[in-house]
Chains A and B, each alone.
Chain A
Amino acid sequence: MLPQFDLKDPQLESRVYGTRTLLAIGLVMILLSVVLMRYYTLQITEYEIYKTQSERNRVQLQPLPPQRGLIYDRNQILLADNRPSYVLSIVRERVPDLEATLADLEAVLPISDSDMDNFRKKLKRIRPYDPVPLRFRLTEEERARLAVNRFRLPGVVVEAQLLRHYPHGELFSHALGYVGRINEQEVQELDETDYRGTFHVGKVGVEKYYEDMLHGNVGYQNVESNAHGRVLRVLERFAPERGKDLTLSLDYHVQLAAFEALGDQRGAVVAIDPRNGQVLALVSTPGYDTNLFVNGISSSEYAELRDSKDVPLFNRAIQGTYPPGSTIKPFMSMAGLLSGLVTPQSTVPDPGWYSLPGNSRKYRDWILRITGTGHAARVDMKMAIAESCDVYYYDLARRLTIDRMHDYLNPFGFGDRTGIDTTNERTGILPSTRWKRAAMAESWYPGETLSAGIGQGYMLASPLQLAVATSVMAQRGERRVPRLVMAVDGELVPAPLLQQLEAPDEYWDAIIDGMREVVHGKKGTAKALAIGIMYEMAGKTGTSQVIGIAQNAVYNEEDVAERHRHHGLFIAFAPIEAPTIAVGIIVENGGGSSVASPIARAVIDTWLGLEHLADG
């Protein structure tokens, strides 16, 4: 069976085998030494490196995001809290095939395009092993489905997270603002350490203005986690410092009264406690559900809000600036008194119109088209305010001139930022010759002074500014910075006096007397408000033109498209003897002040009623 043709030489074979065995042993020894050297290098020479690496593998520093401070109204009614919500995140480093995992996830639960976009953007700038959020607000069912599929989704983490919630939605939308997911620009601006593990930041309003306080300080924990990112054990914990709770001076009931009184109309209400500058109500309608923004509003929902011609995202109370119309008259009166051009008793003839010397153009009083004549043969200050006489102020404005008008009105806060503690405040316009040159590169025309005298033309003020000016009037010259936040973590925030406008008491008395007549007088422009009133209110109506009206044309409300109707304004404070509330109100395209004044009554009734209850 075996081939026999070779002659074998057993001795040679044995000798050759012996040599080969020795060679083999030598080779084995050399190669084993190589292996041993390798292990020696790893375990002895480079021990420290790998020890550290192993430690780092095992122990992971995890950020513990702080709990955002809560926001209350002045009655400790919760306006913004945090609710547990389940977030689906992905740890990129632990996912073998990201695209496949995303596809798998999409089969398990819905993921919107914006979620996906956000995720991909975030993915680029995340630290290694940090979870990147993909879906927020998982439902019970989605969590269950994920749990079932968990084994084939390595690197997918579901974590409970506290998410901002606004229990009252639209009611406080413009007062509070909202938080939203941190965007790329914000990443640059925010402190990287402090915001590790935090996905949301205040975007607008109080939420943004007080971001530093509300956010708190990040904490850390050292955790032992496995290669799949699952935490096995917490080794060490540095607790985060929760954000500070804010108590707003807003009163839920007053806010609600204002909101309901505005109803479907577009407008704004700002109510301030003149004694301390605390904002009691700040409403702009229409509002929007701020909860939509917390997790990234869908682009269609956002487009709807953005493109709505009612501009619900626009905060009319502080961003909206309108010609103040006749509501400027009490302040003009003070300018007249201080300048010495008028006294409480001095009168002006009123034929129902006014014209500049040497000019035939007639500046009409609003009453002319109703009665065909002026308010009276001669009009004094009280009547001028109560009946809103234009001629009185045309004359005063002409004699005062625009620049002095500017200087006297400015202490009431017109043309200045009020300094309220929220975002996006606009200053409005308090015109002057200098302003016009700077803004329009034109010189001032005398006719424009007359328009300015009755709060039309270039002059613009926000409802907040009107409320602040009204508080200055109520407090007889004390101007304060309006404040939304009353206390931080229960500690009161003082509202310092900003400025004191000095004027003799008789001046204040005269003007306030006129404002009382607006509401309580027989011919007051808001006399309807006095029906059933339990207190004395000082007010002033106003109407501001949306479109210019030709010289001899008559404004007829019925004929004008809804969007071109006049804005209705009203300012008021009460009670007159010891004011505790001042309001500034605008109703866009309301036609006239009669739509705005009942809102003031509702708001002030509510506030004084509450105060009465508290006292009683």
Chain B
Amino acid sequence: MGDYVRQLPHHSSRDMARRPSALMRFHIDIPLLFLLLVLSAYGLFVLYSASGQSMEAVYRQGRYLALAFVIMILAAQISLQRYASLAPWLYIAGVATLVAVLLVGVGAKGAQRWLEVGGMRFQPAEIMKLAVPLVVAWFLAGRRLPPRFFAIIGALILLVVPAGLIVIQPDLGTALLIASSGLFVLFMAGLGWRYIAIAVVLAGASAWPVWMYGLKEYQKQRILTMFNPESDKLGAGWNIIQSKTAIGSGGWEGKGWMQSTQSRLDFLPESHTDFIIAVLAEEHGLKGVIALLGIYLLIMLRGFWIGVHAQSSFGRMMAGSLTLTFFVYIFVNMGMVAGLLPVVGVPLPLVSAGGTSVVTLLAGFGVLMAISTEKPRVS
């Protein structure tokens, strides 16, 4: 597995036929880049309104996006082999920082999630969003696929350790995201249906003990609230009632850009971060929601296309997992704001304000681009 396979295309007749552009030379997947830029622009457009017409908020988010796109392009330059070889070390470093967070972390809203290094704060859990699928893919890629029992057990241990550490923080949402990113790798690797069936049964059976002993009071409250927001109109239910009102009152047409009364009058909490979809739905109506879902769907289809055309099983599994994880963000966020799912802290990808999630997501797309532009292997 030498570097020769990653050499830039030379002027061979075959390469010329594909007319590689400058973007191709830098491992950039043009359709994906285009879709991500459109999505980011849409996001900034909504953010301007949701932040109360704050250009400052838009600039800040713009700077985060610029940084994240640079990181994405840098991430695209790294070869898949390098990702595979870096995976365990990244993973070990990630687990180490997660432990460090629990010991010396900085708290916010009753949870220890941040680590402060030289005045800069970062969330080690974010590293794991890439490190876990990478390490599981690395672990499985060398083995015969579909994975067999011991490979499955190994993969599960790899994802349960960081997920468990994050649950303790406690940050159930992130833990579930990370665990599922690992599970998606297993699924794409062709995890047997028997195991899937067993997992479903076990999950169902553990629901009761988890509810009784595993969940904290506020977590239970969120789940209960989701089923009956009216039960706690002024407490936990308030957010859901207000976000549903925002979405519903948008109708098909929407109230128009910057006309959302729900967020403008502060009825909607977190209107520019986790609940931004409510502002979008209120101002741009169902047609705006469909447009957003359309862009998301195209990005995901591109992700699956990249996976199918990937050159290695490592790349395939990574592409599938990254795409599905991206989908989980969308589904969980849009579901919780609309009252389908309990409220967990999951942002709407590339639309919600916030630096960390944007960087993590685009770094993932960087990996996807690296897979997409991997030079066909000589077989």
Contact = CB atoms under 8 A, between A and B. Distances in A.
Interface string A214-230: 00000000001111100
Interface string B300-327: 1100100110000100100010011001
Contacts of A9: 144-145
B286 interface: yes
Nearest to B340: A38
A42 B85 contact: no
B209 interface: no
Given A16-B145, A32-B331, A54-B261, A42 B293 contact: no
B338 interface: yes
A13 interface: yes
Interface in A43-67: 43-44, 46-47, 49-51, 53-55, 57-58
Given A4-B142, A6-B144, A46-B248, A13 B320 contact: no
Interface string B46-75: 000000000000000000000000000000
Contacts of B296: 32
B141 A47 contact: no
B188 interface: yes
Interface string B31-58: 0000000000000000000000000000
A13 B297 CA distance: 25
Contacts of B331: 31-32, 35
How many chain B residues sit at the interface, stated as a range, is: 35 or more
A498 interface: no
Given A6-B143, A25-B301, A57-B262, A50 B289 contact: no
Interface in B107-129: none
A39 B286 contact: yes
Given A12-B145, A42-B244, A51-B248, A17 B335 contact: no
A3 interface: yes
A84 to B, nearest CB: 28
Interface stretch (B171-179, B249-257, B349-357): B249-257
B26 interface: no
Contacts of B234: 93
A370 interface: no
Contacts of A44: 251-252, 286
A497 interface: no
A356 B103 CA distance: 110
A39 B281 contact: yes
Contact of A36 (B144, B145, B290, B323): B290
Interface in A1-30: 1-4, 6-10, 12-14, 16-21, 24-25, 28
A176 to B, nearest CB: 43
Given A32-B297, A42-B338, A2 B250 contact: no
A224 B265 contact: yes
Contact of B85 (A1, A21, A32, A38): A1
A20 B297 contact: no
Nearest to A42: B248
B82 to A, nearest CB: 13
A43 B261 CA distance: 16
A187 interface: no
B134 interface: no
Nearest to B297: A32
Contact of B251 (A19, A32, A38, A47): A47
Interface in B322-365: 323-324, 327, 330-331, 334-335, 338-340
B322 to A, nearest CB: 12
B246 interface: yes
B248 A13 contact: no
A227 to B, nearest CB: 4
Given A28-B300, A32-B297, A50-B244, A21 B145 contact: no
Contacts of B300: 25, 28
A50 B265 CA distance: 16
Contact of A32 (B246, B293, B304, B338): B293
Nearest to A94: B234
A10 B190 CA distance: 13
B234 to A, nearest CB: 6
Given A35-B293, A38-B338, A39-B289, A21 B248 contact: no
B261 A17 contact: no
A43 B320 contact: no
Nearest to B145: A13
A49 B296 CA distance: 29
How many chain A residues sit at the interface, stated as a range, is: 35 or more
Given A50-B249, A51-B249, A57 B244 contact: no
A535 interface: no
B266 interface: yes
A94 to B, nearest CB: 8
A40 interface: yes
A531 interface: no
Interface in B146-197: 146, 187-190
A17 B316 contact: yes
Given A36-B293, A54-B261, A17 B249 contact: no
A15 to B, nearest CB: 9
Interface string B90-113: 000000000000000000000000
A103 interface: no
A12 to B, nearest CB: 7
Nearest to B248: A50
Contact of A24 (B245, B250, B320, B335): B320
A58 B320 contact: no
B307 to A, nearest CB: 6
Contact of A42 (B141, B247, B262): B247
Contact of A3 (B142, B307, B338): B142
Given A2-B142, A6-B143, A13 B190 contact: yes
B285 interface: yes
Contacts of B334: 35, 39
B281 A43 contact: yes
Nearest to B235: A96
Given A39-B281, A42-B244, A16 B190 contact: yes
Contacts of A227: 242, 265-267
Interface of A: 1-4, 6-10, 12-14, 16-21, 24-25, 28, 31-32, 34-36, 38-40, 42-44, 46-47, 49-51, 53-55, 57-58, 93, 224-228, 232
Given A17-B189, A17-B308, A57-B267, 14 more contacts: A16-B190, A17-B307, A18-B308, A20-B190, A21-B320, A24-B323, A32-B297, A35-B331, A38-B335, A49-B248, A50-B245, A50-B249, A54-B282, A57-B262
The 8 residue pairs across chains A and B that have the minimum distance between CB atoms: A50-B248, A2-B142, A6-B144, A54-B249, A16-B190, A226-B265, A227-B266, A42-B248
27 contacts: A2-B84, A2-B142, A3-B143, A8-B145, A9-B145, A12-B146, A13-B316, A16-B189, A17-B189, A17-B190, A17-B307, A18-B308, A21-B304, A21-B320, A35-B331, A36-B293, A38-B338, A38-B339, A38-B340, A42-B244, A43-B247, A43-B285, A47-B248, A54-B246, A54-B262, A226-B265, A228-B266
